[in-house]
Amino acid sequence: MRIVIDTNVLISGVFFGGFPRKILSAVVGHQITACATAEIINEYEDIVQEMISRKQGHINRTILSPLIKAMEIIAPVTQIEICRDPDDNKFLECAKDSHALYIVSGDKDLLVIEQFENIQIVTAKDFYEKYLLN
């Protein structure tokens, strides 16, 4: 199964744990495939560095590198302009181009869409309980 992980879920998983960390661990353990573009990876790295600089949360510096290595990095092709926050369109584009079934997000601007074509947009808790708990 292919998913796209929004930056807020990555940050929650790296720094705070819970369902987001369980999803990141499933990616690193190759239970699911997370897809990203170079732009998304750059955003992950920038925000993680910013959080480390601010010393927020419980810092787990080791999770980002194995996560990125476990991800499928794709070159974006599609251009989508439907999100209230234009910066979120890249997650829809990545999901469409990678044939992902889910975008896992905590972002209200994405969650309000609920579904884009055949891609469901779900919270980390919903994704974990429906698809990883079994």
pLDDT at 130 > cutoff 70: yes
pTM across the whole model: 0.92
Phi, then psi, of 44 in degrees rounded to 5: -55, -55
Q: What is the CA radius of gyration of the chain?
A: 14
Instruction: Give the model's pLDDT for residue 120.
Output: 97
Rounded distance between C-alpha atoms, residue 70 and residue 102, angstroms: 17
Which candidate, 119, 88, 99, places its Cα nearest to that of 35? Answer: 99
HSE toward the beta carbon, residue 101, CA cutoff 13 A: 6
pLDDT tens column, 38-76: 999 999 988 888 887 777 555 555 558 899 999 999 999
Question: What secondary structure letter does DSSP report for 88?
Answer: G
Task: Let me know: does 38 contact 8? Beta carbons within 8 Å.
Answer: no
